[in-house]
Every structure is written in C-alpha cells, then in structure tokens.
Amino acid sequence: MSNVLAFVLAGGRVDELLCLTERRPKSALPIFGIYRIIDCVLSNLMHAGIEHVGVLSQYRPSALVRHIGTGEHWDFIGRKRGIRILPPYRGFKASDWYKGTADAVYQNCAYIEEFNPRSVLIASADHVYRMDYRPFVQHHIETDADVTVCFTRTRKRSSRFGYGIIDRTGHLKKYVEKPETPPSTWASMTLYLFKTDVLIDALENNAHETSHEFGRDVLPALMNKHRIRAYRFSGYWAYARTIDSYYATNMDVLHSKVDLSKWQVRTNLVERCAHSERMPASINGDVVNSVISDGCTVNGTVRNSILSPGVIIENGAQVTDSIIYHDAHVGRKTHLKKTICDKDTTIGENCAIGVSGEETPSREYPELLHSGITLIGKKCTIPPGTTIGANTAIYSASEIGMRTIEPGSTLR
C-alpha cells in the first residue's frame, strides 16, 4: 500500500461529551479497558499495510501526541513508514487554526506532495470498527473512481449522519449531510478515498468558500463533475458522538457484538504503565460479564462493567453497568451504577453514585445527559458517604462539599 497516504481526522472539539472531553479529544477517549478510540483506525491502517499516516489534531492534542509517540506500537516506524501528528501551524501566508476537516487537509498539502501517492485515504479517528481497507482501496482503483465514499447501513435513521443515495451500479447519485429526514439507510462513515489530484483541486476550490467540511462542502461540490462511487461496509461500526453512544459502544464488548480477539487492535501499552508496572488483575470478588484490565484489584462485586488498568474495587463495593478508567479507586461498600469514572478518581466508602434519580435529566444539559448515566471527572475525590444522583456531571477537580448531590446536577 505504498501508493496510499492516509489522513486521520482526530482534532475536533466536541462539547457533547461534557467532562469526558474536557481535557482530551474524543479520539483519545478510553474504550474497552485498555484502548483509546483512535486505536481502531490506526490498527486498521496498520493491518492494511498503509505506510504513511498524518494525524490532524487541534483540540488539546497532548494526550494523542503522547499516545501515538513514535508510532512504533502500530509499526509506523522505519525508513519507509511513518506517522506524523500535523498540528496547525503558522507560515508565510497561511497562519490559522484549522477551520474544518477539509481545511485541515488543505493546510497539509505539502505533506501529500512529499509522498506523491496515487490515492489519499481520509478517515475519522472517532469511529469504532474493524475494517480491512485493502478491498476498499482495490475497489477504488479498479473502478477508477475519483472519489470513493464508504457507507454503512443504519438501523435508526438519525439526522447526525450524512446519507447517500446509491444507484444499482454503485455510483453515488446524491449525498446529503445531516438531513432532517434521511433519504436512505446508507450513512457515511466519513471514510473517503480520493485520487490525489482530484483531492487537491477540490481543496483549492473549497479554500475560497466559507465552510470547510468534507461531508458538507467538498463532496457536494464534486458530485456533478466527478466519478464518485460508494463502497458498502457491513461489519460492526459504532461511534462516540454522544455520551449515550459512547456508553453503548463500550457495552457492546460485553454483549458479544465486538470480538476483540478477532479485531487485533493495537495500542500504546507503555503509556500508562510508565509510572507503575501493571501486574495481572488480582481477583477475589464476584465478577460477572465484565472486562477487567491488568493491574486491577477486585475484592467487591463487579457486574456488566469495564475496568481499565489499575482500578481498585474494595470489599463490599458494588459496581454495576459502569465504565471505570485507569487507577480509579472505589471504596468499601460503595455502590456505583451506570457511572463513568475518569482516570485517578477516588470514590470514598459508603457512597451511592448514580443509584437513584435516573428519571431526572440533567438540568443544564437535558439533551446530552438523560438516560441515567453519571459522569465523574478526572482526579475527582468523592468524600465517604456521598450520594450522587444519576444524570450528574462532575467536572475534574471539583470540590465536593455536600453529602447529597441531586440527580441532574452539574458541578464544576
């Protein structure tokens, strides 16, 4: 795959995930215990043998920069292989933040020219899926398409996606971004292959416009003049645009929808182990239908939950339907339900988190936090005996002064 250069769009700021993306881009969110979301696309690229990858990041990239490191964990290291983080930069003429996904690639045209590939693959870092890109690339080349857009069939027609109308021969007849009523069930995976010169022309034309997004602007502008083909993907594909979808995607690993042993995802295993080496998980409690990572100590009860490395669940604690990030500590006899605890949180003894009030949506974010999930931000310390109602978001380093936090609260 030396003739394909890949860009990974990892930069966008998304406020929909509240405190979870307070300090990290969505693509850096932990998933399935030890991975970050971006690992899925990086592993897909690695397995396809793509040799050069540019990661476009803008919003708080430090977690990503550290995570990707030299790229060695995905074999993107060597004389002919490489991965580069491409942050916004200032130059002679252009000196600006990325104004959109297309602008981010446009500002890095020099990176494309450096390699002069036949095709450019553009993928989002925010999606959770295992796909063999090789047939996709092959299809693109065999059909001599100018652009090939990847689509997946959606069960629920949501206005969050771009939708395509595909004709019988596989041509993309029409594309609409985030329509009120989707015209088909084929949703764009924001995964594109471009002929290099077509891409560069399209980006140059788009640069004069006021909006710079691939789905909204670049694709529709190309529709009439170019051969745009659709490629249908039928495997598991999920995303983490909202708290609900992020939560559901994680839980899919507990319901046999995601078989990680087949996905062969790679991650940076060294990153969080640098401070403390992780032993195998030490388990001496009731653990049912859960993922338990290295370095965990479980003496309490864990059900339908996902534990990242280094989590400690004390005696008598009950953790249900929850996602607990690295090195969180859950004290004795504390109950956690449908709670996402960020890294290095400490929940004292005898707390009840997310156990009551699931019917009460968040007062500040009723659209985003209403299905009974409770969020505890990074490094928060919850004092012993605290009750926190469901649909509550506690931002990192909040001071918890009261014993009872009503459902639907937001603390900063």
Q: Tell me which residues touch other proteins (CB under 8 A).
A: 32-35, 43, 47, 73, 253, 260-261, 263-267, 269-270, 273, 276-277, 279-284, 286-295, 306-309
Beta bridge partners of 341: 324, 376
User: Of the two residues 310 and 389, which places its CB atom closer to other proteins in the complex?
Assistant: 310
Smallest distance from other proteins to CB 33, Å: 4
User: Of the two residues 5 and 42, which places its CB atom closer to other proteins in the complex?
Assistant: 42
Smallest distance from other proteins to CB 74, Å: 10
Smallest distance from other proteins to CB 187, Å: 27
Dihedral angle of Cα 189, 190, 191, 194, to the nearest 10 degrees = 140
Smallest distance from other proteins to CB 21, Å: 23
The distance of Cα 277 from the centroid of its chain, to the nearest Å, equals: 26
Smallest distance from other proteins to CB 288, Å: 6
User: Of the two residues 205 and 264, which places its CB atom closer to other proteins in the complex?
Assistant: 264
User: Of the two residues 147 and 287, which places its CB atom closer to other proteins in the complex?
Assistant: 287
Bin 115: left if φ > 0, else alpha if -120 < ψ < 50, else beta: alpha
CA distances to 15, 16, 127 from 246, rounded to whole Å, are 13, 11, 10
User: Of the two residues 122 and 131, which places its CB atom closer to other proteins in the complex?
Assistant: 131
Smallest distance from other proteins to CB 37, Å: 15
Cβ neighbours of 93 (radius 10 Å): 6
**Nearest Cα residue to 66 out of 265, 369, 273:** 273
Taken in order 392, 396, 398, 402, the sign of the CA dihedral is positive
CA distance 305 to 290: 5
Beta bridge partners of 349: none
Q: Are 101 and 212 in contact (CB under 8 A)?
A: yes
User: Of the two residues 290 and 387, which places its CB atom closer to other proteins in the complex?
Assistant: 290
